[in-house]
Amino acid sequence: MSRLIYKGDTINNFGKHLPTPYIDRVIVYDEKLEITVSLFINAPENDKNDIIDWIDGRVYLNIVTMSSLSEDEIEDFTSGEMNCIQFIADGNADMAQWDLFLGDIIYEDHITTVYDDEGNRYLKITKEETFTIGDDADSDIATSDALYESDNFYIGFFTSINDYTSTELSENTEQRNNLIAKKISDMAFEKITEDGDLPSQKEILWVDPEGDPYGLIPLQNLTSQYYTAENITHQDIVDSFQELLDEYEAKTETYPKLKKMVDNISYILAKYGKTFQLLPQLNLLRKVFSSKTAATPVGKLYVSFRKRIYNANLAIEQEKRLLKKIVTNAKIIDAREMGEEIFDPTGPIDYDDDEILYDKWYCHAEAIKIVEEPEEYEDYNTSVYGIFFFDYEKIVNSCYVANIFDIDKLVTWFGRELIQAFLYPTSATITSYRAPSVDGDYTDAGATKNLSIEATNDDTPKTVYNEILEYESSNSIDNFTDLNGNDRYSYLQLRNFTPVLPTTTWNDYRLMCFEFQELIEGFITGGSIESGPSDDDPRYLRYVAQVTVKDSTVDIARFLWKIVSRYYKLLEVYLANALEKCAFNDIDGKYNQFFIDAMARLMYDWLEGLMIKFLR
């Protein structure tokens, strides 16, 4: 016998009439579910045998499986307002019976005594069984498709004193099912899978200032604080406002604006009437009334509506204050086997050069006067301006760390900034050539270099420096001053750009744009219409670009390895302590509080030391 302490509202938590099942744990294996459920029954010292005799042969445990529930259905279950009997009868859920609760229980092995924080004594009766998962022919309570192919999958439990079947419920009248719903316990349920996998173990728990849990849906006041719903309930608030709407119902046919506001209030009551958001949502609606003066029907409704909001808020604030706490739900345990290929990165993607540094450029040439009244080609200089694109997204997919980790997962866990800090273009170069012929290329014999511009980038990345190399055989120059006194330069610069036609395709895609300008002495078109193009014709020009990328993403792997190694060592320390017999209470299946406190201190000290080490 163990004197375990259970805190909080044990009446609501354990059941007011029939005992509400408590789901201890659900262990998920590849082909089975191992479920442990308990009942807590208030039991004075000498009534143990009488209670067991009453339950034995009388109390049935029912299992309900539900898949692909809508948000409204989930909300109804969470608030406890769902008529689960009619829900099953309508074919929205499957029900099976786990037989009589004490049907196969060895009393002394499965019954323990526990106490709440006020000294009330309870019997905890535990039942455990394994259910197979498979196709329709060989599954006990659920198929593999229901667990892993549906939007979500829930398992619920309730107790009853009669033996029911899904077929019987479906054949009953709705009135008959409503009567049955009043003769069963509340339903306890857990989400087992979501989008084909086990859900996060984080969940919200409402607790009072002493840390005791609150098992019902709380109420929220107008300043976003939470309170219990005991002396004033959600239904009390809904009834109060519904009474107000009934007073104005007769006038809604005459005044369209009044009807609109009445409908809006009715919508809020229907949608939020069972949630903690009820009063804040009504208050938001108060702010959009079209009239707030008592001289109009809408204004009169507003005055009464506002008064009821403030009265309800005052009543809520007389309740016990609650706090919202994020806790870890360790009831759902993933015991599925991992596949043979535990780690299989996709590896870097190989791209051709023209798939990263695109060969589709945009260029134009401009003649710029250098004298007021030009008469010769020498009275002009030429600017050849253009842009080209560099696909950084593809560089990410082909970087070194892609040999080790899945790039998409790195981005999901650590953000895009991590890879960008270790992978960026350090420089870009553009070289201007004069081909030996109009149809020739820069690699042909006789081709000459005109100008080379190297842009140095930082890790932002942005261009911070240009180095220009002029060749003696060309007319290319690094700068000149035009007639307006503007200094013009040859340059290569990394630029921001926005597509002319906005599209969501570009929102997150990392495509770099380089802008360049080459200045040339003279008017490069040369020649005349009569004589044809000269040797300075722009069709002889060729441009070659090169981008150099610094890839130190292997340091990401080194850094993560250091972090994981230290966490693994801490995990080994934790495991050694957790295996100590004094750490775990095998009666209630929980770790002892002194062990939890000791591990919390160990984790804090270790993480603090790790943070200091890596921030130095």
Res. 569 pLDDT band, cuts 50 70 90: confident
Distance CA 574, CA 567 (A): 10
pLDDT for the residue 535: 55
Domains of the chain, by residue range, sit at 4-199, 219-328, 353-552, 556-615
Range name among 104-118, 147-161, 343-357, 368-382 with the lowest pLDDT average: 104-118
Report pTM.
Answer: 0.51
Q: What is the mean pLDDT of residues 564-591?
A: 77
pLDDT tens for 399-422 read 999 888 888 888 888 888 889 999
pLDDT tens for 500-533 read 665 656 667 889 999 999 998 887 765 443 444 4
pLDDT for the residue 606: 64
Range name among 256-270, 368-382, 549-563 with the lowest pLDDT average: 368-382
> Tokens 């934790």 appear where?
574
The answer to whether 466 and 494 are in contact (CB under 8 A) is no
Listing DSSP states for 251-263 in one string gives GTTT-HHHHHHHH
Kindly report each contact of residues 244-251 with a partner whose C-beta sits within 8 Å and lies 24 or more positions away, as own/partner: 244/301, 244/304, 244/305, 244/308, 247/304, 248/297, 248/301, 251/297
Position 573 pLDDT exceeds 90: no
Res. 306 pLDDT band, cuts 50 70 90: very high
Distance CA 295, CA 292 (A): 9
How high is the mean pLDDT of the chain?
A: 81
Contacts of 559 (CB under 8 A, 6+ apart): none
Position 608 pLDDT exceeds 60: no
How are the residues of the chain apportioned to helix, strand and coil, as percentages rounded to the nearest 5?
Answer: 35, 30, 35
Position 8 pLDDT exceeds 50: no
Contacts of 227 (CB under 8 A, 6+ apart): 218, 219, 220, 221, 316, 317, 319, 320, 321, 322
pLDDT for the residue 310: 94
DSSP state of 68: S
Res. 492 pLDDT band, cuts 50 70 90: very high
> Tokens 């050069």 appear where?
353
Percent of the chain topping pLDDT 70 = 84
Distance CA 289, CA 310 (A): 16
pLDDT for the residue 422: 92
The answer to whether 225 and 321 are in contact (CB under 8 A) is yes
Q: What is the mean pLDDT of residues 292-308?
A: 90
Distance CA 226, CA 521 (A): 77
Distance CA 438, CA 431 (A): 18
Please state the length of the chain.
616
Determine the angle formed by the axes of helices 234-248 and 297-316, rounding to 10 degrees: 170
Enumerate the β-bridge partners of residue 323.
Answer: 207
Res. 1 pLDDT band, cuts 50 70 90: very low
Res. 5 pLDDT band, cuts 50 70 90: very low
Range name among 167-176, 249-258, 480-489, 500-509 with the lowest pLDDT average: 500-509
CA angle 16, 19, 25 (to 5 degrees): 125
DSSP state of 614: H
Listing DSSP states for 549-601 in one string gives EEE-THHHHHHHHHHHHHHHHHHHHHHHHHTSGGGEETTTTEE-HHHHHHHHH
pLDDT for the residue 11: 42
Cβ count near 538 (within 10 Å): 15
Res. 361 pLDDT band, cuts 50 70 90: very high
The answer to whether 347 and 272 are in contact (CB under 8 A) is no
pLDDT for the residue 180: 83
Distance CA 408, CA 132 (A): 35
Q: Cβ-count burial of 270 within 10 angstroms (0-12 exposed, 13-18 middle, 19+ buried)?
A: exposed
pLDDT for the residue 307: 93
- In angstroms, how far is CA 314 from the centroid of its own chain? 36
The token pair at 543 is 């441009």
pLDDT tens for 73-126 read 777 666 666 677 888 888 777 777 666 666 665 556 677 887 776 777 888 888
Distance CA 557, CA 563 (A): 10
Pairing of strands 219-220, 584-585: unpaired
Contacts of 128 (CB under 8 A, 6+ apart): 34, 35, 36, 37
Q: Which residue has the higher pLDDT, 514 or 158?
A: 514
Position 7 pLDDT exceeds 70: no
